Amino acid sequence: MIATPDRTPLPRNFFDRPVLEVAPDLLGRLLVRTTPDGPITLRLTEVEAYDGPNDPGSHAYRGRTPRNDVMFGPPGHVYVYFTYGMWHCMNLVCGPDGQASAVLLRAGEIVEGAELARKRRLSARNDKELAKGPARLATALGVDRALDGTDACASGETPLYVLAGTPVPSDQVRNGPRTGVAGDGGNGDAHPWRYWIANDPTVSPYRAHVPRRRRS
Q: Which domains does the chain have, with CATH numbers?
A: 6-197 (3.10.300.10)
Higher pLDDT, 101 or 182: 101
Report pLDDT digits (tens) over 156-167. Answer: 778 999 999 999
Residue 139 in this model has a pLDDT that exceeds 80: yes
133 touches 107 (CB < 8 A): yes
So what's the pLDDT on residue 190?
78
Residue 123 in this model has a pLDDT that exceeds 60: yes
Average pLDDT, the chain: 91
User: If pLDDT is split at 50, 70 and 90, which confidence band does 1 have?
Assistant: very low
Question: pTM score, two decimals?
Answer: 0.92
C-alpha distances in Å from residue 211, one per residue of 61, 180, 185, 208, 214 = 19, 9, 11, 10, 9
Higher pLDDT, 97 or 2: 97
User: If pLDDT is split at 50, 70 and 90, which confidence band does 211 have?
Assistant: low
